Amino acid sequence: MTTYVVTIPGTLLAERTEATIKTLENALRPADPRGTQLGEAEHLEMLTFYSGSSAFSIRLEVEADDTKAAEQQARQTVSAALRTAGYSQDQAPLGDATITGITE
C-alpha cells in the first residue's frame, strides 16, 4: 500500500456556518494530510476556502494500491463528510480529484 495525498476542489452552494464547517472538519480529521511526512513538511491544510468565494479544496491522506483507488477513496471520504455536515451532492459539487503527493 502507498500513502497518497489527494486534493479535491468543490463549490459550496448552500449556506456555510461555523458549525457546519466544524462538523465537516471533524468528519475529515482521520484523513488529515498533516499526519504524513509530506503534509507536515508542506504545512498542508485539510480544508481551504478561497477568500471571497464559496470555492474550496480538501486535501486528504489515503492508503491505496494505486492512484485510481486513491482518488476514488478520497472522493468517497469527502462526499460522506459533506453529507455528515448536512450538504447534499447538489449543494456541494466536487471537481476532479488530483494526486498531490505520494509516499511509500
Are 36 and 46 a contacting pair, CB within 8 Å?
no
Give yes or no for residue 38 having a pLDDT over 80.
no
DSSP string of 53-82, one letter each residue:
SSEEEEEEEEEESSHHHHHHHHHHHHHHHH
57-103 pLDDT per residue, tens: 999 999 999 999 999 999 999 999 999 999 999 999 999 999 988 88
Topology annotation, domain 2-103: Alpha-Beta Plaits (3.30.70)
